[in-house]
Chain A
């Protein structure tokens, strides 16, 4: 199907749908003379027109709101949250929490036998917050304690900073 063919089909269907059955037949006989496939496709559109009813009239949101609200960032969404450098190595399992500055996710490290890690994503990029975040990472590297998370990697994306 070419765009030109599509336009022709739709135009014929527009006009034919306004005509009484007898005149409609005569009109299509004339317009589609010698092109059975065209006639068939127009008839198909006209039949679909008659049955369209409430098809697609209710916005997707009304039906799928629950999905939107409960959807966990994983799978395809991972690419939107993590920068490329982290995508190959970590798979996000769930969001643990979020505050004013960023969000924290539980993830698995594919390079280390699916060891569990947390990934903190900074969601704003003011210089002050970036400095603070880097200071936090810096501080973490100085500690070695079983109740303090160890910082293992940091990365940047166009919109967010990450540490895990």
Chain B
């Protein structure tokens, strides 16, 4: 059983307004719900099918914030939060296992096999200092599974801006992961 939708909405609002402690209270709720939703959806799927991020996040959202009077701004905010939690879970997982996870085995050139989620996390933290919005776009797209249009809505910027940020972030991260840091 979860806290009431009103409570969650209020916590999300508090977080948006800069109350960091609201985040602490939200994380355990969402972490658990994400795991449960992933488990449920995976059980429903035939083997070989991949899990859609949006499906998982939607399910979490419906369970936690099933209230008709929640504004889009809050939902966008919620998805942003889920993406951050996703990143947190995965980084935490790989740190624990002390092993490196290839990002994409399909494009397995020797260099790319070496690319790991933990190194991506580090590079993203660096990028956040140089270009916060571009790093946010990566969070939403890669960890949150949003489309470019949804990201534009969530960040309240135009679609061309999101496309440009994404391209900049990708080549920056690619260069960082392939060959050490730039001065």
Contacts and interface: CB of A to CB of B under 8 A. Distances in A.
Nearest to B181: A1
Interface stretch (B21-29, B70-78, B150-158): B21-29
A6 B103 contact: no
Given A81-B28, A158-B21, A65 B38 contact: yes
B90 A14 contact: no
Contact of A123 (B1, B130, B138, B141): B1
B30 to A, nearest CB: 10
Contact of A56 (B50, B86, B138): B138
Given A69-B38, A158-B24, A55 B90 contact: no
B35 A69 contact: yes
A81 B25 CA distance: 10
A75 B96 contact: yes
Contacts of A10: 131, 168, 172
B183 A37 contact: yes
A29 B137 CA distance: 32
Interface residues on B, range: 35 or more
B175 A159 contact: no
Interface string A80-118: 110000000000000000001101000000000000000
B93 A48 contact: no
Please name the 8 residue pairs, one residue from A and one from B, whose CB atoms are nearest each other, closest first.
Answer: A65-B51, A61-B53, A48-B175, A59-B145, A62-B50, A76-B92, A48-B174, A6-B130
Interface of B: 1-3, 21, 24-25, 27-29, 31-32, 34-35, 38-39, 42, 50-53, 56, 86-90, 92-93, 95-96, 101, 103-104, 106-107, 117, 129-131, 138, 141-145, 164, 167-168, 170-175, 178-179, 182-183
